[in-house]
Structure 1
């Protein structure tokens, strides 16, 4: 963590998830002396993930917060400076780029890596928050393995929900797909696969009003379903709940400055992390609408650091030649 005010940096990395810390590690090794601005949720989504079993190199499950601490320690040991602050405004229309922070004032940068991630959309009910990491999840790829031979509930009606339900049938004995309407929004081919799968049962016109459970450690035991037409509640026993109503990339800060897809994810040049603004790079979930995994985010962080290093080196060479 830095103790002196930072006024300018060769490279500023906005966001401190796997993409951000990996970018910082590679940039520090390239002697760019990167600055990581950690943001409102230091460590990203892994800080609310308990057991992580699919990050390469660990034979036993590891804790998400611990993994992020290790990434931070490694990056800082290589020379990364960490600023525990939140970015309130950026100006990518001029060089050096200008970054306004909530507490530390203005910082300028020759290059920027945006790794602000994406957040799962949640149901926003009190019991959901209580059971996050204890049977309530927003990532079947991350946590489906823990529900072998168990009954799980998936909430949603788009492609994400249909794909999650199908994926979970590889582990669960039964998947109940709960949708608030009477038809899915997802692609027809995915709907057909869901209807044909004997492990999946669909509950139409229902929402989850409460997640029910208890014990030490906490464990999901049931959900309270509420009929959207009549308001009638029913209780459905289950072992886990997967919320699959989409993700929201953390890109509002860059609207009007960086090119985005209609979904809000940042556009990057295929095969690179280059955005439409030379010197600004995007890595991790903020630019990845498809995979959204810690390991792919880390890979993109590596790419962003290498792209930034080469970009800055080319600028230095051009300046020297002139």
Structure 2
């Protein structure tokens, strides 16, 4: 046991731009992500010692576009083990690349059933950049993690001073430190030098896969992007290959083209579990009879990438269409 009076946190490092290094301080686009170790990130922000006693573990050190199911499995297992084994642990902070940060956050939201905060944080500028945003983002993530207000809020994302729910957050820009938003609903709160500002936590947060044991291999789920006259061979090829699930990124409010509907109608074998999202970036997808008859479940306000995460876990849990629809 530590003799420190500070709260104790676990920091899990996975790489990304926050751990990136460029050849000079003005390089914002050309750099190597996932180069700097988590321990070095911690040492680069000595002010963190005023907030918490932090243990660091390196889960991976990669660009988040290169994360795999194996990385996810290791991350989920470690978060579950750490929270279960140590009741005095205040929470978990995860440094992560921004490209797929929202997917990892949503995965953890569906799997981690503990009131203690689990936070993800990244950066839009490499650690070597002039005015790098990673150090302040990391400091503020720890600031939120040790605050009583964060308890019971579920998985959170802290970027550019804003506190987002894993359910809502998405990356909306390729550049700029304010690249994360929560469309339709906005962030849960913010953090600054005056403290953590969060609305009270919900008492009924659902964690539908809290007891799910992640099995290998993971299901194969493809995302199809709606557009004018998509390739005619794509859907039959995926179905013939035995894909376990499909997410349609429909146009408008989740519209499938006549071509896509016909490809599903013409398929003579069993259809996989399928979700219908939209490519607009905001707004819901509602139930429509013509799509329901084809076995398509509306994804509500889930983005295509978050719909895929939900479908992966639903398949692993052996859910049918009706059970999947109940989760939306």
Higher relative contact order (CA 8 A, sep 6+): 1
TM over 0.5: no
Structure with the higher fraction of residues in strand conformation: 1
TM-score (norm 2): 0.26
TM-score (norm 1): 0.26
Give the structure with higher Rg (CA).
1
